[in-house]
Amino acid sequence: MSTISDSHIDFLEPALLETRRKLRSVVIEFLALTGLLVGVVLAVMIDLKLLKNSVSEASLTEALQAVLVLASALIFIWRAMREVEARGYLIGLATLFTCMFIRENDAYLDQVYHGFWAVPVGIAAVAGAVLIGRYKATLVEPLTSQIEERHSTFMFMGLLIVLVFSRLFGTGALWQAAMGAEYNATFKTIVQEGLELLGYALIVFGSVLSLTYCRFERRHPEANPTNGIAASI
């Protein structure tokens, strides 16, 4: 009785193998993004249905925002320590996400005094700027090369959602006009915090995706990676 051995794969056309790898990458990305989107909704639902905290500062939604942006910061700190050729660019991203993490914890830092969060943010920003200046030769070229990759697209979209869209779409004036006399500030907060969590989810997805890009590039420096999440699997 004949069996299909691993050696059979060697006879497949290279183009077919590449197509299979790309298809696997697309499927994994689709499932991962679907899971993230479902997770965002579930987090808000848990806050409203189970915890009944109306997505307050001590909510699961807020906690996940901090965890996701911290994970992104740690990813780029780790990459900056390993990738000398792109260290300036990676330190810049690590600094940005570290500052965002500190800002997300402003409710706890305000217990020192209102607005105290600006102090650690300033320290982190200055430290990051000093390091970027030290490695400025590895800032522009990696920025221009990686900005076109798929992982950067997810991160930039996430940043725009967090810093721009969530603020505008969560504006009280917008929902006052939509709800009239039935306006409830809690509803506005739920929308805004939910959008922020979505943005952070996309940022961390792009950050993880950048690791696969890095791994593929190191394994195949002569190749042009497809930049899918399964590129290095």
Contact 115, 82 (CB under 8 A): no
CA dihedral 83, 89, 94, 100 (to 10 degrees): -170
12 falls in which pLDDT band (50, 70, 90)?
low
Per-residue pLDDT averaged across 189-216, rounded?
Answer: 89
Q: What is the Cα–Cα distance from 99 to 70, expressed in whole angstroms?
A: 10
Residue 42, pLDDT above cutoff 90: yes
Residue 11, pLDDT above cutoff 90: no
Residue 39, pLDDT above cutoff 90: yes
pLDDT score of 187: 87
Q: pLDDT tens for residues 66-98?
A: 999 999 999 999 999 999 999 999 999 999 999
Structure-model confidence comparison of residues 172 and 214, the more confident one: 172
Question: Interior CA angle at 66 toward 51 and 29, to 5°?
Answer: 95
